[in-house]
């Protein structure tokens, strides 16, 4: 039919290219069928970085035998043949309910191969266009890498379909090398897993292709590079070979793993000791069985976390300020008198560009069963909106805006306005934000079954009518959230103005600072702010001649 030019590829993959800049800055959760309340396979993805996301729909397409994608590397044009058919992709889910997320673990920087063709974000998109299942996606990614080379640093990739959830971890061979080293494991049914910018796969079975796949040189290459010594008596662990454990990556990454597991399975009493650097503590398992099966709302909640209720609660302490602000401004680490310190790195962060919670459901037709709950900006102050994998478009506010200038027509900018303004008086404003968030998400979840019943009835006679119905519904809800969040922004600006709180419209009241904060001020600078005592002067005595 046609040959896709290099320029077109640059445009096509521009959205995913922004994933490269926020390296070491994402969180994924994987929930298997047996661990979810309704039998969904779910994964989550927070894509963290300072960018304005524009989700896109890439239509399905048929290709002639000579059709190819063209990439430019080292001044040369590389042609990658197109398959006879590519599938429709909506955001990061395709028409077959296949969904992909990722977190960058970097690992050994010397293994980055600048001569490799494919970055991870291109591989993710091509897998969605060329695969129906998670296993097929792994085959697509690793096949392309084997033939054309891998260009990124270490990457953990979550891949789910209506029946299975897999983690693929991959890293390059170094400059000029071929292929990549990788391992992929299936999360056992009934369990959940997660990863957060650190390789998580340790030991793995060598003779169980039903549950584990790996590159042929994954162990021998590590031995050759000196990453693993088979004479040590220790089993080979992918994560230790290709992403060595350090106090820094424990604090940055394992803290998030710990917080997900402690909340999903409180009965197991997971300790933070490993994440805090205790050399005697054991690493967290790759997967756990949750105390109870998780609903979509439960998984959304897991993605909203500042370690609340733990000794590391980011809404507490002097660093949270008088009003309990959990955000910490970058850089995340700093030095005082040659000693290095670091803020906590939570799951919910102001640097998130977008996030999603996916549902892939085996008992429903693909167009109805595949669903992304899509949110913008900080997961804690965002609102998850429905996006079915059969839709033809996103609402205009979701694909509007840039970092260059604030835009009242951009949903991303509106969510940022609300979240940033809330930091002025967080402990007050967060209650107003969460009230609207709960109201909207609760409504969407409550209506989900009835919406899908209509869609299923339409699909029986007119598949295209079903697609139009779900597109109209999804776009309507996205516009509804956008409009409601603009109203929320205006409400907050009015209610919390100049340090006052209008508990009743037009009646501002002075709320001041919490007593706990005032005590800290007195301890630090009490002499400066202390008022002089009002002592009455004694009357002067009169002298008598």
**For 362-388, what is each residue's pLDDT tens digit?**
999 999 999 999 999 999 999 999 999
Q: Please give the pLDDT value at position 7.
A: 36
Q: Please give the pLDDT value at position 538.
A: 64
Contacts of 299 (CB under 8 A, 6+ apart): 29, 31, 42, 44, 357
Q: Please give the pLDDT value at position 339.
A: 95
Confidence class for position 537, pLDDT limits 50, 70, 90: low
Q: Has residue 236 got a pLDDT over 70?
A: yes
Structure-token pair, residue 222 = 């590590």
Q: What is the mean pLDDT of residues 447-467?
A: 97
Structure-token pair, residue 216 = 């042929």
pLDDT over 90 percentage in the chain: 91
Chain-centroid distance of CA 445 in Å reads 21
Contacts of 354 (CB under 8 A, 6+ apart): 46, 47, 53, 55, 374, 375, 376, 377, 412
Average of per-residue pLDDT values in the chain: 94
Q: Has residue 235 got a pLDDT over 70?
A: yes
- Bridge partners of 150, per DSSP, are 118
3-state secondary structure 35-47: HECCCCEEEEEEE
């Amino acid at each position: 039919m046609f040959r896709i030019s290099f320029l077109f590829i640059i445009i096509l993959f521009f959205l995913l290219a922004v994933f490269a800049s926020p390296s070491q800055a994402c969180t994924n959760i994987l929930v298997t069928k047996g661990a979810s309340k309704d039998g969904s396979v779910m994964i989550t993805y927070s894509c963290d970085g300072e960018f304005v996301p524009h989700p896109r729909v890439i239509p399905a397409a048929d290709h002639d035998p000579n059709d190819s994608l063209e990439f430019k590397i080292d001044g040369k044009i590389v042609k990658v043949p197109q398959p006879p058919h590519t599938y429709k992709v909506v955001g990061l889910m395709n028409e077959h309910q296949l969904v992909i997320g990722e977190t960058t673990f970097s690992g050994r920087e010397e293994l980055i191969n600048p001569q490799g063709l494919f970055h991870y974000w291109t591989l993710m998109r091509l897998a969605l266009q060329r695969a129906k299942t998670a296993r097929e996606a792994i085959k697509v990614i690793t096949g392309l890498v084997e033939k054309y080379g891998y260009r990124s640093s270490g990457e953990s990739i979550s891949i789910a379909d209506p029946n299975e959830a897999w983690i693929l971890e991959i890293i390059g061979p170094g400059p000029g090398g071929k292929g990549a080293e990788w391992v992929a494991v299936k999360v056992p049914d009934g369990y959940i897993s997660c990863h957060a910018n650190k390789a998580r796969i340790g030991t793995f079975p060598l003779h169980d292709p039903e549950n584990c796949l790996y590159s042929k040189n994954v162990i021998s290459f590590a031995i050759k590079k000196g990453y693993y010594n088979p004479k040590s008596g220790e089993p080979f662990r992918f994560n230790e070979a290709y992403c060595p454990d350090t106090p820094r990556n424990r604090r940055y990454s394992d803290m998030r793993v710990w917080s997900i597991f402690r909340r999903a399975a409180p009965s197991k009493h997971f300790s933070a000791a490993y994440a805090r650097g205790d050399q005697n503590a054991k690493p967290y398992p790759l997967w756990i069985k949750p105390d109870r099966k998780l609903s979509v709302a439960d998984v959304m909640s897991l993605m909203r976390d500042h370690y609340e209720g733990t000794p590391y609660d980011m809404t507490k302490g002097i660093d949270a300020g008088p009003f309990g602000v959990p955000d910490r401004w970058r850089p995340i680490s700093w030095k005082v008198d040659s000693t290095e310190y670091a803020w906590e790195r939570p799951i919910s962060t102001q640097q998130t560009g977008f996030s999603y919670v996916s549902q892939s459901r085996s008992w429903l037709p693909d167009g109805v069963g595949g669903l992304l709950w899509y949110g913008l900006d900080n997961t804690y102050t965002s609102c998850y909106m429905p996006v079915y994998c059969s839709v033809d478009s996103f609402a205009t506010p979701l694909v509007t805006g840039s970092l260059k200038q604030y835009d009242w027509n951009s949903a991303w900018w509106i969510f940022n306005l609300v979240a940033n303004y809330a930091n002025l008086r967080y402990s007050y404003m967060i209650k107003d934000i969460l009230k609207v968030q709960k109201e909207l998400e609760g409504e969407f979840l409550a209506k989900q079954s009835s919406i899908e019943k209509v869609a299923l009835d339409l699909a029986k006679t007119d598949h295209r009518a079903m697609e139009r119905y779900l597109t109209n519904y999804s776009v309507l809800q996205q516009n509804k959230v956008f409009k409601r969040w603009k109203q929320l922004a205006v409400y907050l600006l009015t209610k919390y103005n100049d340090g006052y709180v209008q508990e009743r419209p037009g009646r501002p009241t002075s709320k001041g600072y919490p007593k706990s904060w005032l005590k800290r001020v007195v301890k630090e600078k009490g002499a400066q702010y202390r008022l002089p005592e009002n002592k009455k002067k004694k009357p002067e005595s009169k002298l008598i001649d």
